[in-house]
Amino acid sequence: MVEKPAEVARSLPASGSFCWTEIACTDLAQCKPFYENVFGWKFKASENVGDEMEYYEFSSSGEIYPDGALYEMKPEMFGGHLPPANIELYVTVDDVDAAVGKAQGLGATLHFGPYDIPNVGRFAVITDPTGANISMITLKAH
């Protein structure tokens, strides 16, 4: 009898750990080849979004699991006001709703969310008291 190799289990990052990087660009056709050529990243269309946007995942370390994504911002995503291109960092939290409340109590403002991402988790974007944005996410165990 031949045994199948066991599937590699992926553990969730500890609360407070950086877990995802998102590059929000204004020109996907220009930006994607830039990162492919500068860093050697291989992009794969995400299975976690629908037809509403192109969202390309990558692994900066070359591992099997992605640790970031690249997408093109559209004005309609931001109420008609396109922000500058940016890189957003995500931090894992045990309960995104509770973390948002705690952050707001410490002077942060809620920029977006909390919002559920099917098959991924629940996230929010906050602005710290000095004006810097950061995202937080509670990941679903798979």
Q: Is the pLDDT of residue 76 over 50?
A: yes
Q: With cut-offs at 50, 70 and 90, classify the pLDDT of residue 10.
A: low
Q: With cut-offs at 50, 70 and 90, classify the pLDDT of residue 68.
A: very high
Q: Could you report the per-residue pLDDT of 113-134, keeping only the tens digit for each?
A: 999 988 889 999 999 999 999 9
CATH 3.10.180.10 maps onto the chain at 20-87, 93-142
Q: Is the pLDDT of residue 27 over 80?
A: yes
Q: Distance (Å, rounded) from C-alpha 68 to C-alpha 116?
A: 18
Question: What average pLDDT does the chain have?
Answer: 90
Name the fold adopted by 20-87. Answer: 2,3-Dihydroxybiphenyl 1,2-Dioxygenase; domain 1 (3.10.180)
Higher-pLDDT residue of 101 and 12 is 101
> Quick one: average pLDDT of 60-87?
91
Q: Could you report the per-residue pLDDT of 99-109, keeping only the tens digit for each?
A: 999 999 999 99
CB-count exposure of residue 4 (10 Å: 0-12, 13-18, 19+): exposed
Query: Which architecture, in CATH terms, is 93-142?
Result: Roll (3.10)
> Quick one: average pLDDT of 131-138?
96
Other beta carbons within 10 Å of 110: 14
